[in-house]
Every structure is written in C-alpha cells, then in structure tokens.
Chains A and B, each alone.
Chain A
Amino acid sequence: MFSRGAAVLVYQPQWGQVRNMATLKDITRRLKSIKNIQKITKSMKMVAAAKYARAERELKPARVYGVGALALYEKAEIKVPEDKKKHLIIGVSSDRGLCGAIHTSVAKAIKTEISTLSDAGKDVMVVGVGDKLRGLLQRTHNKHFLVTFKEVGRKPPSFGDASVVALELLNSGYEFDEGSVIYNRFRSVISYKTDEKPFYSLDTVSGAESISIYDDIDADVLRNYQEFTLANILFYSLKESTTSEQSARMTAMDNASKNASEIIDKLTLTFNRTRQAVITKELIEIISGAAAL
C-alpha cells in the first residue's frame, strides 16, 4: 500500500529512446562499418599528403613570384580616397570539403568584411572561387554575389586558371574602385591563417600620388600592369590556398582515423564483454536445466 506522503509517480516514456542490450550481431555490424571508415580516412590522408607535398613544392617559386609582382603596391603605398564606393571581395577556396575549417574561415572573413563595408556605405560585390563559398554564403548574402567559379581544387592551380578568373572579372562589367582577395595563407603543416591582400583599380593607381615618381608611365602601361597584377594576385592566393587546404585535409583525416581507432577499441571491448555474457548465460541455462532434472 502506498502511504500518502510517499506518493510517487512512475512515469514511463512511451516514445523516448529505449536502448536494449546490444546483440552481438549489432556490435559486429557496427565494428565492420567503422573499420571500413577508418580505411577510407587513412587513404584520404595519404592522398592529401601526396597532394600537399606537391603543392608545397610549387608554392616556393609561386611565393617569390607573387611577392615580386605585388612589390609595386607595397612600395608605392597606394591609399584609396575615402569617397570611392565600389568594393570587390574575392574569396579563394575550393569545391571539396572534409578539410577542417578552410571554407568557413574564408566565409567568416567575407561576412565581417561585407558588414564593415556596408556600414561604411560602400557597395560590395563578392566573387567566389570554389563552390563551397557559394554554398556557405548564398542564403544570407545572395545579392552580393557577382560570379562563382567551380571545378577548383581538383587539379593543382596554374597561371592559366588565374588568368581565366582575372579575365572574367575584368569583363564582368562591375567597375570596382578597389578590392581585396581573401585566402588562406599557408604557414606550416599544422597551421594556416586567413589573410587579405588588397588590389586597386586603374583609376585609383593612376590617381595615387606616389605613382608620379615613376618615370615613363602612360595609361596603356598601367592598364597592362593592372590586369597582369590581378592575375598574379589570384595565382598567388590560389597556390597558398591549395597548400593550406591539402594540409588541413591531411590533419582532418588523420584525426578522423584516430577517432575511428578509439571507437574500434571501445567496441571491441564491448564485443568481448557481450560475447562472454552470452556464453555465461548459456552455461547458466544448461546448468539450471541439468539441475532441474
């Protein structure tokens, strides 16, 4: 009889997760699938390691080339006049996932840039190199997108790819005054940093005061130089970006393999315990059955 003071409501959820003791078959199935996953992540790590080695090797000359090509911007210290309105952001990433925070860090940087620039009253358009950026940004910033480039990241980038992108931008009809390229700069195998490199339009450069110390410049030369520099910046950022991406993918797949190994160990222990429990249960049944006779 229940006394009043100790009235206890027994509440049995009818639709919650009811977890029974896992049978041997369930555990075996799960173990097999996780072992397969571990094989896959291990091989992805090997592939990423090979691609990373090549990307890093090609990055060395590309870095010297990129730094040399951009030297004019740095030496001349071009400042954009405050009243220039049109800004262009180029986000450099790739199409493929499973590489850690590569795409999200570029997308985050783009988002903060858009909000700062819009607050300052400028028009901002975004160019995405790599499909992942479009996916990350299109729900909230769809009206800022000018053009997206796909099929990035499958093969190592070449100067031809950068030229194609630069040509498309110059022909797009969006007359930007200044812009920036947001990419992941490669620091080491385990670290990269999201970086931003500025570039300027023809009018901004020719209007800058420090350009006047340069001898023998006419509009043609400057325009040529501008277009070439746009391709150079894109080439440099593509090279850095692929190296960072491959190293991040290598790390991510390595972590995934390690996690899978841990789960496999735990599951193997559970499997053995369950197996022993099943054997013990059968023994008890046999013994109690024999005792009953």
Chain B
Amino acid sequence: MVRSYAEAATSPAQMSFTFASPTQVLYNRATVKQVDVLTLSGSFRILAAHVPTLQVLKPGVVTVFAEDGTATRYFVSSGSNINADSSMQLPAEEVATSDMLDLATAKSNVNKALSHLAAAPDETAKVEAQINVEASEALVKALE
C-alpha cells in the first residue's frame, strides 16, 4: 500500500498578509485565508487571488480569518491597504483589539465629538471634528 502525504499549499495560492501600525506588528507576512476591510469605496472581503487593488480604510473593524478559520477582530482608525501579486499590506495608523475598548467611553466620545462639530469655528476644525465623529461612531458600532 502506498501512502502519500498531501503537499502543503505553496505561496501563490496563499495570501501573505502584513498588518502593522507604527508601534506594533500584528501580522508579518503571515498566511491568512481572508480579510474583511471597510474602505471608502465599500466593504471588501479579500481572499488570496483578489485582483491588485489600493484602498483607503474607513475607521471600522478589520476581521482577519486565519488558516484554521478563527476570526480576530481589530478596530482600525485609518490606513490604506495594498494588494499586489497576492501579498497584502495593511499599514494602519492606530489599531486596537476589542478588549482594549470600552463601550461607555466610546459613547461619551461620540457625544463630545458631536458637540465639537457644532462648535467648530472654521473649515479645517469642522473637518477634523467630522472625522472625530465618524471614528467615534464607528467605534460604538463595532463594540455593540
């Protein structure tokens, strides 16, 4: 009886995923199955053979599905994700896991941001306050 082992799948069919923020590295060329991101042009589910694309992230949750199917959720504040020849890079400005975030503080942040928006004196301050509002609301939505 001839036994044979299955070959481990090699790189082109896999996605090498690099996910980092300026202060910490979460994935460095790790092999993952699928990544869900929320971008300015919509929500994407990215698998290994996705077409090359360049996206800007909205504040929201990034879900990473590892090889064995476990999903980990990260809250990303902003960043851009690049996908070139089946390697994906996700440099994010700030990343937090759900245990670092607190729902009550997030809700109060939303209220504070809204009041800033109402009180904003000029264009740039208004835009900054708007960004603050979006990020805080996304944070609340992610936690609920």
Find out whether the CB atom of B25 lies under 8 angstroms from the CB atom of A69. no
Find out whether the CB atom of A225 lies under 8 angstroms from the CB atom of B93. no
Once A72-B84, A76-B84 are accepted as A-B contacts, the answer to whether A62 and B54 lie under 8 Å apart by CB is: no
Q: Measured between alpha carbons, how far is A72 from B91 in the docked complex, in Å?
A: 11
Find out whether the CB atom of A214 lies under 8 angstroms from the CB atom of B54. yes
Cβ–Cβ < 8 Å partners of B84 in chain A: 71-72, 75-76, 214
Find out whether the CB atom of B22 lies under 8 angstroms from the CB atom of A235. yes
Q: Does A30 contact B (CB under 8 A)?
A: no
Find out whether the CB atom of A232 lies under 8 angstroms from the CB atom of B91. yes
Which residues between 197 and 251 of chain A lie within 8 Å of chain B, taking CB atoms?
213-217, 220-222, 224-225, 228-229, 232, 235
Interface string of B44-55 (1 = CB under 8 A from A): 000000011111
Q: Which of A76, A158, A228 contacts B80 (CB 8 A)?
A: A228
Q: Does A58 contact B (CB under 8 A)?
A: yes
Find out whether the CB atom of B52 lies under 8 angstroms from the CB atom of A62. no
Residues of B in contact (CB 8 Å), total 27
Secondary structure dominating the interface of B: strand
Interface string of B2-38 (1 = CB under 8 A from A): 0000000000000000111111110010000000000
Find out whether the CB atom of A225 lies under 8 angstroms from the CB atom of B54. yes
Q: Does B135 contact A (CB under 8 A)?
A: no
Q: Does A64 contact B (CB under 8 A)?
A: yes
Q: Does B132 contact A (CB under 8 A)?
A: no
Q: Does A135 contact B (CB under 8 A)?
A: no
Q: Does A145 contact B (CB under 8 A)?
A: no
Interface string of B84-101 (1 = CB under 8 A from A): 110101110100000000
Which single residue of chain A is at the shortest CB-CB distance from B18? A68
Q: Does A149 contact B (CB under 8 A)?
A: no
Which single residue of chain A is at the shortest CB-CB distance from B44? A216
Find out whether the CB atom of A62 lies under 8 angstroms from the CB atom of B55. no
Secondary structure dominating the interface of A: helix
Q: Measured between alpha carbons, how far is A213 from B19 in the docked complex, in Å?
A: 23
Find out whether the CB atom of A159 lies under 8 angstroms from the CB atom of B22. yes
Q: Measured between alpha carbons, how far is A60 from B25 in the docked complex, in Å?
A: 9
Q: Which of B19, B40, B41, B89 contacts A71 (CB 8 A)?
A: B89
CB distance from A207 to the nearest CB of B (A): 15
Q: Measured between alpha carbons, how far is A120 from B25 in the docked complex, in Å?
A: 41
Q: Does B82 contact A (CB under 8 A)?
A: yes
Find out whether the CB atom of A216 lies under 8 angstroms from the CB atom of B22. no
Q: Measured between alpha carbons, how far is A75 from B86 in the docked complex, in Å?
A: 11
Q: A64-B25, A68-B19, A71-B82 are in contact. List 18 more A-B contacts (CB 8 A).
A: A62-B22, A64-B18, A64-B20, A64-B28, A65-B21, A65-B25, A69-B91, A71-B89, A72-B84, A214-B52, A217-B53, A220-B40, A220-B56, A221-B41, A221-B54, A225-B80, A228-B56, A228-B91
Using a CB–CB cutoff of 8 Å, the interface residues on chain A facing chain B are: 58, 60-62, 64-65, 67-69, 71-72, 75-76, 158-159, 213-217, 220-222, 224-225, 228-229, 232, 235
Using a CB–CB cutoff of 8 Å, the interface residues on chain B facing chain A are: 18-25, 28, 40-41, 51-56, 79-80, 82, 84-85, 87, 89-91, 93
The 5 tightest CB contacts between A and B, nearest first, are A75-B84, A68-B89, A69-B91, A65-B20, A159-B22
